[in-house]
Amino acid sequence: MNQLEPTIENQSIAGTVDPVGIIELLNAFAPSFFVAFIVTLLVTPLVRKLAIALDLVDQPGGRKIHTEPIAYLGGLAVFVGIMAGVLSAAFVEAPLDQYRPVPISVVFGLIVIFITGVGDDMFGWDPRLKIAGQMMAAAALAVESVGVQVAAGVLNPLLGAGDTQLFFFPGVDWVLSSHVYNIVGTGLVAVMVLGGCNAANLIDGLDGLLSGVTGIALVGLALIGMMLLPEAGGDSVEAPQSLAVARIVLAVVGLGAILGFLPHNFNPANIFLGDAGSLMLGYLVVSIILMLGDRGQTHVVLAGLMVFTLPILDTFMAIVRRRLSGKRMSDPDSDHIHHQLKRALGGVKPAVFTLYAIAAFFATLGVVLAWLDVSTQLRGRVVYAGALVVFSSIVTYAIKVARRRALSQQAN
């Protein structure tokens, strides 16, 4: 792993905005978006036929809302589309000559997560094997220091070592060694990969829900990524070594693949993502969020997490709900946000569109937080405070709802 410096946070420059440069960059990678879109759109029906031939179908019954068997190998189509888009982006010369390309560790992680999900879809793998696959993908990111730098952004404000100081503790020079940053950073990467993959998996309960929510999140992350470009006056002085372009490429390619898959997956769906798709999309989003902090900009990483709040919120509520009711964390139930909205609104489409609107709200909030950090003087404490207020409010409300429901169930 690369040695981390405790002074990497907030090395941004207030450069002038170059809209022409940003537009040229987007034009350069527009073909990659279309490659991912077209490939996924055309491959999905073939994957559906393959899944039916292999009897990889999701049978109706129980908590499931569909009334007929539906293929669930859709993650394969999305995977092929993403890989095709990333490969096409490698042939774009001008922008990538100035920046790091998409890290090999991210591509390797996508492959590992996809194989892990396929194994679960086809053979019902033990949860420990699924976690092992996710940890392997997280380890790949840590080895190439993708996301590890976020540790500096976390520790510096707490210890008073960075430009943004929340507290100050004297005599902590030993904490600021590269080994501590690497250890803490690797732990953060592992936690975020596990959390993101499983959050995406848990919210994948209605036709087109995860696909649409992830697509909205990728739009928000692409916008945040554009704010960090030197052309927008937001990236580091060491821009040629940054991931400023790579994170936009992944967001654009992922969005293209999702839009190619969504027509097949939207209600009434004829193919599902399966674990291969849901885990992979969660990993893709988390990888981009971690890449936002490749200079230790923890505030921007928080903004990225805000973009993905809906799956995180649903996962947190599920954990609290099962804890209060005495169930295991792995026990399924029909009380996720999407289940409750479906019952309240009387259908899949109203529930999905409502959740799209909620996801868009959080994505907008994340983009605004990032803009405040990058383009104004409201840095550090203000951005942390804004994120803290929003997340604390969400967590408090989630606990209140979960406790009320648990008491109601006990009374019945």
pLDDT in tens, 203-215: 998 889 999 999 9
Give the pLDDT of residue 1.
43
403 is a domain residue: no
Q: Are 200 and 278 in contact (CB under 8 A)?
A: yes
* Stretch among 193-207, 244-258, 322-336 having the lowest mean pLDDT: 322-336
Asked if the structure places residue 100 within a domain, the reply is yes
How high is the pLDDT of residue 14?
41
Task: Look at residue 227 and tell me whether its pLDDT is greater than 60.
Answer: yes
Q: What is the pLDDT of residue 126?
A: 85
- Asked, for residue 38, whether it belongs to a domain, the answer is yes
Separation between Cα atoms, residue 116 and residue 110, nearest integer Å: 10
pLDDT at 22: 72
In this prediction, residue 295 carries a pLDDT of 74
Mean pLDDT of 190-211: 93
Task: Quote the tokens at residue 175.
Answer: 């904490």
402 confidence band (pLDDT: 50, 70, 90): low
In Å, what is the CA distance from 105 to each residue of 270, 291, 354? 33, 12, 35
The residue segments making up the domain with residue 205 are 19-295
> How many Å apart are CA 394 and CA 406, to the nearest integer?
18
Average pLDDT over residues 76-99: 85
Q: Is the pLDDT of residue 380 over 60?
A: no
Residue 61 has pLDDT above 90, yes or no: no
Q: Residue 390 — very low, low, confident or very high, per pLDDT cuts 50/70/90?
A: confident
CA gap 106, 90 in Å, rounded = 14
Does the residue 322 lie in any domain? no
What's the N-to-C CA distance of the chain in angstroms?
55
Res 231: pLDDT: 59
**Cα–Cα dist 214/244, whole Å:** 20
Tens digits of residue pLDDT in 89-123: 988 876 656 678 899 999 999 999 999 999 998 88
Per-residue pLDDT at 19: 58
Of 22 and 370, the one with more pLDDT? 370
Average per-residue pLDDT for the chain: 81
Query: Mean pLDDT highest for which of 109-113, 382-386, 394-398?
Result: 109-113
Output the pTM of the full model: 0.86
């990467």: which residue's tokens? 189
**146 in a structural domain:** yes
CA distance linking residue 271 with residue 208, whole number of Å = 10
Contact of 165 with 224, CB cutoff 8 Å? no
The proportion of the chain whose per-residue pLDDT surpasses 90, expressed as a percent, equals 40
CA 392 from chain centre, in angstroms, equals 20
Higher-pLDDT residue of 112, 402? 112
The pLDDT of residue 157 is 58
**Does residue 371 have a pLDDT over 90?**
no
The region of weakest confidence among 125-134, 179-188, 252-261 is 179-188
User: Does residue 311 belong to any structural domain of this protein?
Assistant: no
How many structural domains compose the chain? 1
The amino acid present at 112, given as its one-letter code, is V
Amino acid 358: pLDDT: 92
What is the reported pLDDT for 274?
92
Q: What is the DSSP letter of 271?
A: B
Whether residue 400 is contained in a domain is answered as no
Predicted confidence band of residue 326 (pLDDT cuts 50, 70, 90): low
> Is 302 contained in some domain?
no
Residues 277, 115 contacting (CB under 8 angstroms): no
Provide the 8-state DSSP code for 2: P
